[in-house]
Structure 1
Amino acid sequence: MIEALALTEQVPPTHIRVAPGFDGATWLDLGRDDGQSVRIHPTGWDIRVPDPEEVCWRRTQLTGELPLPAKDTNGKGIDLLMRLCNFADAKTEALAIAWLIGCLEPSAPVPAPFLTGPQGAGKSPAGRMLVRIIEGMTGDLRRAPKDEENMITAVAAGWITALDNLSHLPPDLSDLMCCIITGAESIKRALFTDGDVVRSRYRRPMLLTGIDVGVIRPDLAERLLTLRLERPRVRRTEAELWAEYAEILPVVLGSLLDLTVKVRAVQAETPTDLRMADFAHLCAQLDTATGFGTLEAYRASLDDLNDDVIEGDLLAQTVLKHAAELTPGAEERMTSAEWLHALTALYSGEECRPLPKGWPTTGKVLSGRLRRIQPTLAARGVLVDWGRTSAARYIELSRQAPPPPPWQQTAF
């Protein structure tokens, strides 16, 4: 009988930690044995056991228990959290708050915060504090898995994937992180079958910590959120720190829920020039609700990451050096092979400097590299485009003309 029902009845979807509900509501699983969860709706939030027809939770070994959120009567819950973290300034704190609100949205991707700073700045404790607001006191940071299969397994078992003490980002890990942040699907053969498959769809919030991860690929840079920390003036023991954190966690969670309701209720324009448009819109909503200046801080973070990409990419530096000789507004067209010859000669110079490892060896490879760094170059006012004439394909490089001063703009 049970097997027959399993074959004929509709299978409801299951969710981990955060789920969409009816009438625009969002659910947060508290991981409790009694099933109590938080329902965030347009006018507030409350605690109740969800109807199985609306939400079915899936629990794993990574599903920790959250305390019942407490009402933040004086509106200082978030401040209590920020006092324990060592963020460099108020703009960084605003970005951290925006990310936490984004983690409560089941249908929109959020960039991965990269907690960085000098040794002893408390990057790992701060990362744990942010994670445990959503994942409970058992939530923790972990080392990056060695292969894609283990990474996907860990991602599928929890909501937030937090990687600690990263010192470098291999290309495979960088590409996999891009997929996790914005969503992808993994397909593998089902066990004990020849032709059946198992599909794993995933999109999860991520968090990273480290002093420096070296070269950052441009596609990942657009999905990161730099949060800088400073060394604390006064040191505290781990026991004191986590005892205070456990004490304030119910109020911090309640304050975060209050702010989430407030932010979702306001209207704001969506910036159209940023890749993570959902998060940019959230930053604009947060600014409208609080006046934090979060969107400006997010743009500054992306500018810093673009600088990091350029500093780690000698080809990008060479293209910018060549573009600096162009007249603003002018265009230059050459085939990919001609561009390879020109850029190689510019890099080598009169000293015949040896080419670095990974320098393009063919026009096709150069074209692919330029496509990868195209957004980074555009952020610095250098546009790269591709086209074709009757004779051959070409790559066009142009330098944007600066906008006219306000007094020259025609008023309507």
Structure 2
Amino acid sequence: MSEDEKTPAREVIADYAQAHFRYFRTADGTVYAQRIGHPVARPIRSQGTTGSHRQELMVGLYRDGVGVFNGTALKEALDLIEALALAEGVQQVHIRVAPGFDGATWLDLGRADGLSVRIHPNGWDVLTPDPREVCWRRTQLTGELPVPAKDTDGKGIDLLFGLCNFANAGSECLAMAWLVGCLGPSVPVPAPFLTGPQGAGKSTAGRMLLRIVEGMTSDLRRAPKDEANLIAAVAAGWVTALDNLSHMTTDMSDAMCCIVTGAEDVKRALFTDGDVHRSAYRRPLLLTGIDVGVIRPDLAERLLPLRLERPKVRRTEAELWAEYEPVLPVMLGSLLDLTVQVRAAEAETPTETRMADFAHLCAQLDAATGLGALAAYRAGLDDLNDDVIEGDLLAQTVLKHADTMTPGEAQQMTSTEWLAALSRLYAGEDLRALPKGWPTTGKVLSDRLKRLQPTLAARGVLIDTGRTKTGRYLELTRPAPPPPPEQLPLP
């Protein structure tokens, strides 16, 4: 055969690739390759250490006896495949947890064979998902989970809490609710904040909760230095666990709020001037620490305080993990059993909390088990509101002013007038200096009070805004207490 009659190498590669792989694009335009019949997809431009599609293609060509090709031929073939894939339909890829057909959800076990868990209100099964239903994306943060055990009769939950040092039953049932929430791709869950005295085992308990969902290779991390690094770590995994937090900047607090309830990050695409790269994320978050200082009100509504106590008998790390790892399949099986029960339970959705989806999950957990998770969640939010007020002198001053009002009274003033009134109240008769961070203008005061609205409302003080012909105003109301319920006459 003459040189002119030979099939170009790029065509040989492209034909082989399209015969053995399925190519599609996601909503952000990234093209993925998925081996026929296998649920794991890889971006064709990936150069990561978890295995790029280019490497996968080279190995397949060599093992099937097609040949070994140079980089130019591979690049030209992949360029053609990428261009063709951009005309295909859009499909989403998922990390660890994904929605499925008929109300089911899937949990990726992180195995090479693609074996996963299908969770449905009628039960759960271990099988390989249809690639048209679920496409898994793997990164270095995707650890392998064991095949969960069947018919555990709840033993795994007891084994887990036997190894952790939770201070009370409320913290235990909230930890259970959070783990169930981690298996739901559409339910935003508040971030557990494991607190307690030094030596209470906060980091160890955090690892144990994390590894039920992410596998034994996962671990806690130090808080990134900036928001960009935090978002990069969040987008590459499912649960993000940050250890030993001692302070939290305003930017980091805002970023954590976005992680819990969902946001999208847009930045300039590499090596381009006009294109952008989009990454949407909403992930479970876990934090540990003794004290992070002043907690902002918007973050406080997205936290789940879990308190631990110092153990009465100390055990070595080796002993704990030697006991934990063999029973991890039982723990995961018990968690899946509990998830099925919770999803099948019916309960009303509480509407007074910001994280209404998680409050509904707690109500379902109570309906399935009778544990009292919703009451524990409400009590935890009250404690966090107290922490916010204790760390905010403006909130304390507003509550002090509200104490001088009669129940049912409402006061309207401009933000500037409110600033003067609250500043006089704080300074008092001895004219003490205003603290650092005190609002300096009416606009700053108005913005601060808007952030404090949920916290103050939980203490019976309502803040509202309005406008008249002369300008805008702030209204502070102290609602009248509800009338006592009528007592029925004794028979």
The within-5 A match list for 1:163-174 is 163-174=242-253
Alignment partners' CA distance in 2, 1:159 and 1:391: 52
Alignment partners' CA distance in 1, 2:206 and 2:249: 22
Alignment partners' CA distance in 1, 2:442 and 2:228: 35
Which secondary structure does the structure 2 equivalent of 1:45 belong to? Answer: strand
Is 1:239 the equivalent of 2:318? yes
Determine if contact 2:149/2:332 at 8 Å carries over to the other structure: yes
Is 1:139 the equivalent of 2:218? yes
Q: Deviations over 1:73-114 (max 9, x none)?
A: 332210110000000111110000000000000011000000
- Which of 455, 471, 474 is residue 392 of structure 1 equivalent to? 471
- Which of 151, 156, 161 is residue 77 of structure 1 equivalent to? 156
Alignment partners' CA distance in 1, 2:228 and 2:409: 48
Kindly state the Cα deviation for residue 404 of structure 1 after the two structures are TM-superposed: 1.4
Which secondary structure does the structure 1 equivalent of 2:136 belong to? Answer: coil
* Residues 343 and 5 of structure 1: CA distance in aligned 2, closer, same or farther (over 3 Å): same
Corresponding position of 1:287:
366
Corresponding position of 1:299:
378
Alignment partners' CA distance in 1, 2:244 and 2:108: 28
Alignment partners' CA distance in 1, 2:427 and 2:374: 40
The within-5 A match list for 1:66-105 is 66-105=145-184
* Residues 4 and 388 of structure 1: CA distance in aligned 2, closer, same or farther (over 3 Å): closer
Matched to 2:359, the amino acid is: A
Alignment partners' CA distance in 2, 1:167 and 1:291: 36
The within-5 A match list for 1:79-228 is 79-228=158-307
Is 1:36 the equivalent of 2:144? no
Which has the bigger relative contact order, CA under 8 A and spacing at least 6? 1
Kindly state the Cα deviation for residue 398 of structure 1 after the two structures are TM-superposed: 1.1
Alignment partners' CA distance in 1, 2:330 and 2:321: 15
- Which of 425, 445, 454 is residue 346 of structure 1 equivalent to? 425
Corresponding position of 1:50:
129
- Which of 222, 225, 230 is residue 309 of structure 2 equivalent to? 230
Q: Deviations over 1:364-409 (max 9, x none)?
A: 1111111110110000000111112222221111112111112369
Matched to 2:422, the amino acid is: L
The within-5 A match list for 1:369-384 is 369-384=448-463
**Structure showing greater Rg:** 2
Q: Deviations over 1:47-76 (max 9, x none)?
A: 011111000111100000001100243322
* Residues 409 and 185 of structure 1: CA distance in aligned 2, closer, same or farther (over 3 Å): farther
Which secondary structure does the structure 2 equivalent of 1:255 belong to? Answer: helix
Kindly state the Cα deviation for residue 3 of structure 1 after the two structures are TM-superposed: 3.9
Alignment partners' CA distance in 2, 1:78 and 1:5: 49
* Residues 121 and 12 of structure 1: CA distance in aligned 2, closer, same or farther (over 3 Å): same
- Which of 353, 361, 371 is residue 274 of structure 1 equivalent to? 353
Which secondary structure does the structure 2 equivalent of 1:140 belong to? Answer: coil
Q: Deviations over 1:7-51 (max 9, x none)?
A: 322242111000000111100000011111001012100101111
User: How well do the aligned residues superpose, as a CA RMSD in angstroms?
Assistant: 1.2
Kindly state the Cα deviation for residue 4 of structure 1 after the two structures are TM-superposed: 4.5
Alignment partners' CA distance in 2, 1:127 and 1:272: 29
Kindly state the Cα deviation for residue 5 of structure 1 after the two structures are TM-superposed: 3.0
Alignment partners' CA distance in 1, 2:139 and 2:393: 45
Is 1:22 the equivalent of 2:101? yes
Corresponding position of 1:334:
413
Kindly state the Cα deviation for residue 220 of structure 1 after the two structures are TM-superposed: 0.4
Matched to 1:281, the amino acid is: H
Determine if contact 2:153/2:334 at 8 Å carries over to the other structure: no
Which secondary structure does the structure 2 equivalent of 1:8 belong to? Answer: coil
* Residues 199 and 405 of structure 1: CA distance in aligned 2, closer, same or farther (over 3 Å): same
Q: Deviations over 1:250-303 (max 9, x none)?
A: 000000000100110011000011100100000000000000000000000000
Corresponding position of 2:394:
315
Alignment partners' CA distance in 2, 1:247 and 1:129: 13
Matched to 1:306, the amino acid is: N
Alignment partners' CA distance in 2, 1:37 and 1:170: 39
Alignment partners' CA distance in 1, 2:381 and 2:472: 32
Alignment partners' CA distance in 2, 1:74 and 1:141: 30
Identical columns (%): 78
Matched to 1:22, the amino acid is: F
Alignment partners' CA distance in 1, 2:151 and 2:306: 26
Alignment partners' CA distance in 2, 1:409 and 1:214: 49
Matched to 1:219, the amino acid is: D
Q: Deviations over 1:335-357 (max 9, x none)?
A: 11111111001001111111111
Kindly state the Cα deviation for residue 242 of structure 1 after the two structures are TM-superposed: 0.5
Alignment partners' CA distance in 2, 1:286 and 1:409: 34
Is 1:355 the equivalent of 2:434? yes
Aligned residues: 410
Matched to 1:39, the amino acid is: R
